[in-house]
Structure 1
Amino acid sequence: MKIHIKFFLVLMGFSLAPLLVVTVFNNSRIVAVGRMVSADIQENLTRTGAESLLLTARNYAKIILRTKNALETSLIALGSEAERLLQLPPPDLSRVYYADEFDTPGTAPEDFKSNPLYLQLSENQGMAPARVSFDHPVFLLAPGAEKEKVISDIARLTQLNQPLNELMKMMGDVIQWSYISLENGVHMSYPGHGGYPRNYDGRNRPWYRSALDHPTWTLPIVDATTRLVTFTASQKLRASDGSFLGVAGIDILITNVLQESEIAALWSSKMRSFLIEQHLNPDTDMPALKILAQKGYQKKVTGWEADIEMDWLMSPDVERFKKMAGNLHAGISGFDHMPYDDIDAIWAYAAVDDRLSFVVVVPTSVFMQLPDQAGRRIVNLTRDQLWIISLTALGAMCILAAAAYFGAKAITRSLLEISSAADSVAKGDFNVRINMKTGDERDKVIAAFNDMVPRLQDHLRIQNSMQLAHEVQQNLLPRTTPNVKGLDIAGKSIYCDETGGDYYDFLVNGGAGGRTIQIVVGDVSDHGIPSALLMATARSLLRQRSAMGGDIARIVTDVNREFAVDVKESCQFMTLYYMSIDMKNRCVKWVRAGHDPAVLYDPATDAIETLDGRGMALGVDKDWIYDQNERSGLTPGQIIVTGTDGLWEALNNTGEMFSKTKMYHLIREHAGQGARHIMDSILDELDRFKDGERPEDDVTLVVVKVSE
């Protein structure tokens, strides 16, 4: 029996009319208060959620841009290597596997096996792992091509197997296929796979016909072997005389572009993401948004030769949609509240570049579940308590007083339990639960509280994910010190925030125990998350370009050209010191890009030499040509030190600067010790100088000692 009925039976004969008046009045006021509280919670939570959704859209727009730039850089490198090999005499032909051998049992390469990172459309229209070979690419001759006439080009292209394998390792699971298709009918794809239609001719594919002399995107199209929707970046190949040889291409799955599984983990499976292209409607001359990528395009696939009819992103709220489209055309990111597919939703949008934008749509109901429940529980709880209090206040007789006393005691105990549990939740304990049975409406309140706690925990999970940014950046720095014969090396970065713009890296040539190492130290302007993103971009560009070889001045020049495109609108830049130590020839080469020069200390003469040179910071002038500097005659005991200005420009609480002079003194004082001891001595002295306070700028230090 409900608690208000129990009290009603006891007090039926006492002041029924006043009781009804008080109850009706109080209930109406409580309903109004509950609705007001619920509305405030809804408004605040919706605003907070929309701002978090906008942050998600901006972050993934940046990820798409970085991925696009990295793929274009990889395509340029692949095309350059293919053009070079096609001009050389053909090597002796090794074992080559053709498309029909991959489809015939017993004739495919030994490593041809299923890989969960490569998917294909199964007969029941579901996703299934595809079989691939990383040891051998697949070759295919177009109809009419004669093997005897093109065998020399096939032999030349077999030399791309190792570069393609390295490209796959660097890009992870981003790339689906990499391929070369020549005008003479030869088609090569990596990793090796089967499934090609009998009449397949790469020269008839959209990515081949639309290729230019620079990376060009064809999107979206259906992959002929897997029947999955992909984006393709392609570029023409030309001989040294400028004649057309064919096309190089790279495929990326549309699912890798949209990142829906990752975003859904943060929000809801009901969310939708879109990659859109900004257009002007030819009928109205108004901004319009064409959908280049969405989850639904895979369902439109009817065959590998059929084109995909692209949709237009629309909303019934015409005025708000026009505002959003206009913002995207102006490069402005933001969020708005308007329907999608007749469902009330929050839209967050951010520009990827001057042509592409990323849009995330989440139903408003995802944000409203918690405040709606909270508002209803507040109204119900307060109404029940006021009903009991009203009945208790009317009692004048002893039996009524006793009933009011015991009833109030029982009610107070349950409220104290709820209050104590709510206080624990406020302190961060989401494991707390209320284990109490009252036999009346309070059981519903307790059940609602126990159900609400894990929902609050889910909404706070996105805040914890921001901490992952720190861990991700730490993983980009070297985890171990390389073993280079004749050198003792140590390096460390200390960030003033959770993420920073300082960067250092070790690139060893010649494998483990090699005699040459390349050391890179960089400093992005400012610090924090924007600088951390640029640091990750620079690291990716440096590692990709360094893996292609060449003198270090050319490497830095090429990286600057690509990096300047990324920072053009932000006006940010990065100083860099790129150093190569060759112990075989006992010399050091370096390129200085606006960074403080390294110093070389020779204990034999007690002289400190500055390894200086000219060079603009990365991102300032994309056409800058960098110079390579060199010093020979490295001898045992010499010490090379490089770092960032956060070390010697650090200030203590009196305004005194740490200075390079103090650093030079420490190098001399500890020159007889190992590289790590020298580095730790300098950083420990910096900590004492700062009196244990956190540095105001990122600090990076690398010490190299010639040991033999």
Structure 2
Amino acid sequence: ISDQTIGFDQNLAPFPLLPTEASKLAFRTNGMDYRRQNLFLTQGTSWGIVKKSAGQLAGLTHAYHRLNEMSLYTILWHHTSLENGLHLTYPAGNVLPKEFDPMKRNWYLLAKSTPGIVWSEPYTDASTGDPILTISTAVYSPDGRFAGVTGIDMYLPSIFDWLQLNPAWSEGAEGMLIARIREGDSLRIQIFARMNYQEDSRHWDKPLELESLKSEDTALFAGFLADVAAGKSGIRIMRYKGRKSIWTYQTSLDYQINTLMIVPYDNYMHLVDQTEKIIWRNSQDFLIYSVMIGLLVIVVVVIVSVKRAKSFTDPINNLALAGKSLSEGDYDAQARVNTGDELQQLAEVFNQIGPKLREHEKMQNALELARIVQQRLLPKEAPKIEGFDIAGLCKYSDETGGDYYDFIQFDEIDPDKVSVILGDVTGHGIGAALLMASARSMLRNAIRHNAYDLSKIMYTFNNELTADTDPDKFITLFYALLDRKGKTISWATGGHDPAILLKKSGGETIMLKSEGVPMGFVPNMNFEQAGPLEMQSGDIVVIGTDGIWEAENEAEEMFGKERMMKVISENSHHSAHQICEKVVEEVIAHCGQLPQEDDITIIIIKTT
């Protein structure tokens, strides 16, 4: 690690949520900055190499903070380490030894070589000296190459903070996490973590010594080992450290780590004896009091029922009349009930329904108006340009959404060129719709002033959007520029999935990639203009949002890009508009009875 720790806040607005007092207590640290991450570089790594990766991982700060709020007493650190030498930790403020290299740590090597989520063995934290274990998994780049490891460090003693044992039998009780260790044909149980974890001398570069679990009752312990090996849970009575104890364990073959609670048998029997005496002493008095109270309740109920029979009918009639008026659309209908009991409470709740229904109706009208306005912002029809058949289709998941597509052609700049744009705003609903409308205006203005220079257009648009939006709101964008004369396509992306070119000749599939981060996230970012790429007759370009390929059915199976490309290939002889309709139709059919979770937007460019 370099001598100078780099504060990771140069391009980030301060995170608005401050950590709670519970969070501060859980981490047992002072001086931690919960609004930022720390950035460390391994020896020989330069800032220029990792700058792009650092910018892409900036948004993890918000996610890390949310995880802390959910697991206040367990998580010590969040960290992400990449093969290029970048190491990020959250919260900011920790200091690591100079000789620390994350890529040589056991948790990194284990996650790199093992698929899925892996648990490390307990070890000592390099910055605090506390006993911890790491839950980690490998991270891969979009092309499938191994990129690094992300993980969560759990403070071992805090795993048992939630466990509050009854003081009557907690003396000598032990809770622990155990792990199955195979040694040839035999099975050994290792204590992974325990209550009151203590380690007198620890060094961050040396592993913690783990104790093996055993019992003097060898036959009973063999049965316990058989249960653990088979993933069975149960309760057994056998000795632990020479003392007769009750072993309660929960195991599963799906997990490496399982739970075990050992309580001295004498504690349990003492509690049973005390409970039996108390029950016997109080049972006779309880029966006498119960009979007396039961008779008294019966007498009171009879008297009250006779006196209140009539008082029930009038309030109920008032409620019925008010309910009828409300059903006929009278939101001012009120039930006048002053009985001072549950009926009055019911009437008060009823009287709140009318105003709330009126507000709901206003909200529905506002949403309908917003939907109409947003639909009018989308192109009414695709432009007619020689050599191309262009179409777009958008299906929102709410009344209003965050997806956006546009066809822009300025004859005064160049009548032979047309811009084809697709964007995806974070989230959906009214907020996403408003951001989409603002972005549409900014983008058209940027095109007018930069005359189809895609790099300049994206640069200008990104700066304007960053200045006008919150840090947690951004847009992914794909910008394609069609040229009628050369029958070519140029493109630039702002963090959006690349468009896909399906060649008619040979059926080759080409991903239209270019460098660019999401728009509105970091100012003064450069965007690469790719192309021009000459297209042949029958070639098809597909631009879409993740609402297509991430749509899931009831079996949680995604629609996927392969399925989308198969639908397009099978319908390539149809018009661009018909292809769009067929893709959306197949996505909806794939979801079945499940509601649409995200906006679905697709653009088809077909070379004629």
TM band (smaller chain): 0.3 to 0.5
State TM-score, norm by structure 1: 0.39
State TM-score, norm by structure 2: 0.45
**Which structure would you say has the larger RCO, counting Cα contacts within 8 Å and 6 or more residues apart?**
1
